[in-house]
Amino acid sequence: MAARGIPAEIVSADSRQVYRGLDIGTAKATSEERAQVVHHGIDLVQPDEPYSVAEFRAHALGALEGLGARGGIGILVGGTGFWLRAVFAGIDTEALPSDADVRAGLEAELTLDGVSALADHLVALAPTLAARTDLRNPRRVVRAMEIATLQGDAALPEPLGYPAPVLGLQLVVEPAEHLRRIAARARAQFDAGLVEEARALRERFDPALPAFSAIGYRESWSLLDGEITLEQAIELDARRNVLFAKRQRTWFRSERTLAIVDATLAPPPDAAVRVSRFVDEVASR
Instruction: Please report, in tens digits, the pLDDT of each residue of the chain (285 residues total).
Output: 343 445 789 999 999 999 999 999 999 999 999 999 999 999 999 999 988 888 898 899 899 888 888 888 888 898 898 888 888 877 655 566 778 888 889 998 999 999 999 999 999 988 888 887 889 888 889 988 988 888 887 655 544 456 666 777 777 889 999 999 999 999 999 999 999 999 999 999 999 999 999 999 999 999 999 999 999 999 999 999 999 999 888 888 877 777 777 777 766 556 556 555 655 554 555
Q: What is the pLDDT of residue 14?
A: 95
Could you tell me which residues come within 8 angstroms of residue 240 by beta carbon, excluding any fewer than 6 positions away? 215, 219
Could you write out the DSSP letters of every residue in 95-131? GS---HHHHHHHHHHHHHH-HHHHHHHHHHH-HHHHH
**Same domain, yes or no: 53 and 22:** yes
CATH of the domain at 26: 3.40.50.300
**Same domain, yes or no: 195 and 283:** no
State which residues form the domain around 234: 175-248
Q: What is the pLDDT of residue 10?
A: 93
> Is there a contact between 190 and 237 (Cβ–Cβ < 8 Å)?
yes
> Is there a contact between 90 and 76 (Cβ–Cβ < 8 Å)?
no
**Same domain, yes or no: 54 and 14:** yes
**Same domain, yes or no: 120 and 201:** no
Residue 170 domain flag:
no
Q: How far, in Å, are 63, 129, 178, 234 from residue 170 at the CA level?
A: 26, 28, 11, 24
- Total domains present in the chain: 3
Which of 227, 215, 224 lies closest to 189 in space, CA to CA?
A: 215
**Same domain, yes or no: 61 and 10:** yes
**Same domain, yes or no: 1 and 88:** yes
> Is there a contact between 194 and 22 (Cβ–Cβ < 8 Å)?
no
The model scores a pTM over 0.85: no
Beta strand extents in 2-45 (DSSP E only): 8-12, 39-40
